[in-house]
Structure 1
Amino acid sequence: MKLSQGVEWCLHAVVLLGQLPQGTVLPRTLMAQHHGLPDDYLAKYLKQLVRAGVLMASTGPRGGYRLARPAERITAWEVIEAIEGGQSFFHCQEIRQCGTGAARPAECTEPCAIHQMMHSAFLTWKDQLSQTTVADLVQQVPEHVRERNRQGLLNA
């Protein structure tokens, strides 16, 4: 399974916003510069987070993005789902019904063991990401880095 680079960019963006005082608006250009990301591409992904209700956007000279809810109420899964969609990473092709060893359709009334295993793995993955909040991720950023980020971005 491979996630788009937009997922990583957006997770970093929401973690960065989560390090700032609640309600702080951060211009997209500052976020892009902070992480060395292309502004135009980041803009596309941030719009998806706004549509998903993860971020709020404001326009004008003091415009930018902020978390739509407290960091404790935004999950990593919400960010991933906003960018990649919520579908499973595995799509069964019913290979067991192909080739010289093909099973008859009547023998395939239930998902095969591989399909069941992959579905279970997806649910476990989704559950873990649904239990991890932006606040949890912010807490893993060393305090001195959080402070440096706050100072650098709030004084920019």
Structure 2
Amino acid sequence: MQLGKGVEWTTHICTILALLREGQGLSVDALAEFFEVPSAYLSKQMQLLRRAGIVQSVRGKGGGYRLARSVDDITLLDIVAAIEGPMPAFRCTEIRQNGPCGLKLKDCNGPCEIASAFADAEKVYRDALATRTLATIMQEAAMNSTPEHMVQIANWVSERLKT
């Protein structure tokens, strides 16, 4: 399974947005600058997060995007579903019914064993993502970062809020 880069980008973006105070926002251009990613592509990803209720747009001076919910209430699964969609990664097309030895529909008494195996694996994957919140990711990142780097990020955000 390969997730699109939009999942990585928007997860990182959400950790930056988590640093903002109530009423503040950062523009797509500023966020794109921070990670050196294309603004136009990021803008589309931010729209998906907005539709999913993960971020909201702030109008006016200092406007842009901010988190719509607490970091404790946003899971990695929320972000994946917003960007990649809610559909399962594996979609059974019932090819066991095709070909010279294909099963008749009436003989397919239960779900395809292959589809069941993939569904079980995806459940484990989705359950793991559902337990990881932005808050836990940010705590881990802070523990693995230097104080100087954390200050550098805070200063960058602060400078973009002034412009």
Q: TM-score, normalised by structure 2?
A: 0.87
Instruction: Identify the residue that residue 152 of structure 1 maps to in structure 2.
Output: 156
* Partner amino acid, structure 1, of 2:159: N
Instruction: Identify the residue that residue 28 of structure 2 maps to in structure 1.
Output: 28
1:111 maps onto 2:111 in alignment: yes
User: Is the Cα–Cα contact under 8 Å of residues 25 and 64 in structure 2 kept in the other structure?
Assistant: yes
When residues 74 and 143 of structure 1 are mapped into structure 2, their CA distance, relative to the original with a 3 A threshold, is farther
Higher relative contact order (CA 8 A, sep 6+): 1
Map 1:38-49; keep pairs closer than 5 Å. 38-49=38-49
User: Is the Cα–Cα contact under 8 Å of residues 55 and 67 in structure 1 kept in the other structure?
Assistant: yes
User: Is the Cα–Cα contact under 8 Å of residues 77 and 126 in structure 1 kept in the other structure?
Assistant: yes
Structure 2 counterpart SS, 1:155: helix
Aligned sequence identity (%)? 32
User: Is the Cα–Cα contact under 8 Å of residues 17 and 26 in structure 1 kept in the other structure?
Assistant: yes
Q: Distance in 2 between matches of 1:70 and 1:126?
A: 20
Q: TM-score, normalised by structure 1?
A: 0.91
Q: Distance in 2 between matches of 1:59 and 1:143?
A: 34
**Which consecutive unaligned segments of at least 5 residues does structure 1 have?**
none
User: Is the Cα–Cα contact under 8 Å of residues 77 and 129 in structure 1 kept in the other structure?
Assistant: yes
**Which consecutive unaligned segments of at least 5 residues does structure 2 have?**
none
Q: How many residue pairs get matched?
A: 155
User: Is the Cα–Cα contact under 8 Å of residues 58 and 64 in structure 1 kept in the other structure?
Assistant: yes
* Alpha-carbon distance, 1:36 to partner: 0.2
| RMSD of aligned residue pairs (Cα, Å) | 1.5
* Partner amino acid, structure 2, of 1:150: A
User: Is the Cα–Cα contact under 8 Å of residues 75 and 131 in structure 1 kept in the other structure?
Assistant: yes
User: Is the Cα–Cα contact under 8 Å of residues 25 and 63 in structure 1 kept in the other structure?
Assistant: yes
Structure 2 counterpart SS, 1:26: coil
User: Is the Cα–Cα contact under 8 Å of residues 22 and 70 in structure 1 kept in the other structure?
Assistant: no
Write out the 4+ residue segments of structure 1 that deviate beyond 3 Å after TM superposition: none
Q: Distance in 2 between matches of 1:135 and 1:96?
A: 44
